Structure 1
Amino acid sequence: MKIFYYILSIKLKCIAILPFGVIYILSDIMAFLLMHIFRYRRKVVKMNLQNAFPEKDKKEIYKITKDFYINFADLFFETIKASHISIETLFKRLKIENIEIMKKHLSSGRSLIVCLSHRGNWEWLGLVFANAFKYNGYAIYQPLKNNFFDDYMKAIRGRFRKECLVPAKQTARIILKHKNEPSYY
């Protein structure tokens, strides 16, 4: 099994160094395969969209389904790319609006809890936050069951970070421990 993970880590590194144009071509291929060939969770996606948007017709649901698979594949490859991307490239590709509001709160000694929707690449945002603020940050994460992938994701998330990674079950404990320090979570 160690050989498998060794080979996989080499493949992931090879993908990470590819230029963005190639990354997004691979992403489009993966989206097509997941949606049309493997039909990965297709019934669940369709049912959830029909329940969420009962007013939409089949054509509109199909378009949203297709967009979901494209976004899913983009996030997959962008996460791999995060293991190699420079902070300068991240700042060019990711715009945080109203960041001055967050900086103002932190500089006044107050902490922040940042809540995000299921849109965009959280891994990239975490890497940008680590360089945008001079304050401690704590990224809350759900540990993965597979040790290889858990270590891989922690390595990506910790590339530029001053803050530490906090398993979700320890969140309250960490917030209380650092309650007198301006931090972001």
Structure 2
Amino acid sequence: MSKLKYFVIAGLLRVVGWLPLGSAQRIGRWIGLLLWKVPTKAREVTDINLRICLPELSAQERERMAQASLVQTGQTMLEVPLMWEWPVQKCLDLVKETEGLELIDEAMAGGKGLILLAPHLGNWELAGLFFSSRYKMAALYSPPNMPEFEDYMIKVRGRLGSELVRGDRRGLARLAAILREGGVAGILPDQSPRGKGNAFAPFFGMEVKTMTLVSKLIQRTEANVLITYAERLPDAQGFRIVVKRTDDGLGDKDAVAATTAMNRSIERCVLDIPEQYQWEYKRLRHRPPGQPNPYRPDRIC
């Protein structure tokens, strides 16, 4: 059954991969509007996250933001097959503008490695492809629930030689080695971490479980760190790659101080283009013991 499910999904990905960007984004907008209009879990979680994270918005503004966010998420869903199935150069040609690339040259000038944080903002798959086309790069990933899908994911994400490493002890050791060699490590920093490598730090004002991996890698390798995203331009015009400095303190030995600095860095990027953030993700579900789960107020963490 699992193999049959994989072949169905892989077939759908390849069919969508034949679409031009404009058609994929148009279908994605329809899906996003459907997610917004129908009482879906995605709409519910988006509303909760916006109410907590952007309390300064009025009810009408939150309504508009929720609709815009789910439309953007729908477009991301339909763009991923393009990033995986299109020829690499065709994907890279979608990058029409860049900002802050000089920060990467500056960070790597002394031979140090670079940790590149890429939150779930805009099209993170394109951001990974863009930087792996320029640098020796490794990306941390969590194995999918469907084992058959893992080989496919590694193949398409590693087309330019980017090395994918699992988020286990062996993978983290490999990531540290690449950084010591002066390479680049790509990390999605806004996922709820598993295991013991975490601390509770504020994210848009709410204490949530946050990964300590980045601070540990900085301490072990003295790597520099920057944050990036691929902003979706309007009307299928393409994307803009943005690179920014992070807040000071990501390498602090105090886990709470380090994770707080990382979350602040993510927040600044999200506020640049808030409608393109993945608000339907349950980022706030892991809170300090005794606090209510915002998505299930009847449950205590």
Taking the aligned partners of 1:111 and 1:104, their CA distance within structure 2 comes to 11
Matched with 2:164 is: 165
Shift of 1:124: 1.0
Quote the residue 2:73 is aligned against.
Answer: 72
> Which residue number corresponds to residue 154 of structure 2?
154
Residues 36, 43 of structure 2: 8 Å contact kept: yes
Q: Tell me by how many angstroms 1:104 deviates.
A: 4.2
1:31 aligns with 32
TM-score (norm 2): 0.55
Offset, 1:16 = 0.5
Taking a change above 3 Å as real, the CA distance of residues 7 and 55 of structure 1, as seen in their structure-2 partners, is closer
Cα drift, residue 116 of structure 1: 2.2
Q: Secondary structure at the match of 1:138?
A: strand
Decide which structure has greater strand share. Answer: 2
* TM superposition shift of 1:172: 3.5
Q: Distance in 1 between matches of 2:107 and 2:121?
A: 24
Q: 1:119 matched to which residue of 2?
A: 121
The TM-score normalised by the length of structure 1 is 0.86
- Identity %, equivalent residues: 24
Whole-angstrom CA distance in 2 between matches of 1:18 and 1:53: 35
3-state DSSP of counterpart to 2:116: coil
2:138 counterpart residue number: 138
* Residue 145 of structure 1, CA deviation: 1.7
Q: Tell me the SS of whatever aligns to 2:99.
A: coil
Cα gap change, 1:149/1:73 in structure 2, threshold over 3 Å: closer, same or farther?
A: farther
The code of the aligned residue for 2:166 comes to P
Q: Which amino acid aligns with 1:42?
A: R
1:91 aligns with 2:97: no
Deviation at 1:126, TM superposition (A): 1.1
Cα distance 1:32–1:149, how it changes in 2: closer, same or farther (>3 A)?
farther
**Is the CA contact 1:87–1:128 (under 8 Å) kept in the aligned structure 2?**
no
Instruction: Provide the aligned C-alpha RMSD in A.
Output: 2.1
Specify the alignment match of 2:50 in structure 1: 49
Unaligned 5+ segments in structure 2 are 186-301
How many aligned residue pairs are there? 182
Q: 1:179 to 1:25 in 2, by over 3 A?
A: closer
In structure 1, stretches of 5+ residues that fail to align are none
CA distance in 2, matches of 1:112, 1:156: 23
**SS of 1:12's equivalent?**
helix
What SS does structure 2 have at the residue aligned with 1:114?
Answer: strand
Q: Residue 30 of structure 2 contacts residue 71 of structure 2 at CA under 8 Å; is this kept in 1?
A: no
Residue 83 of structure 1 aligns to a residue whose secondary structure is helix
For the Cα contact (< 8 Å) 1:83–1:159, is it kept in 2?
no
Q: Compared with structure 1, are the counterparts of its residues 16 and 108 closer, same or farther at alpha carbon in structure 2 (3 Å cutoff)?
A: same
Higher helix share: 1
In structure 2, what is the Cα distance between the partners aligned to 1:55 and 1:178? Answer: 42
How many angstroms apart in 1 are the aligned matches of 2:125 and 2:38?
Answer: 28
Corresponding position: 1:129 with 2:128: no
Q: Distance in 1 between matches of 2:155 and 2:175?
A: 23
- Structure 1 residue 156, shift from structure 2 partner: 2.4
Partner residue of 2:63? 62
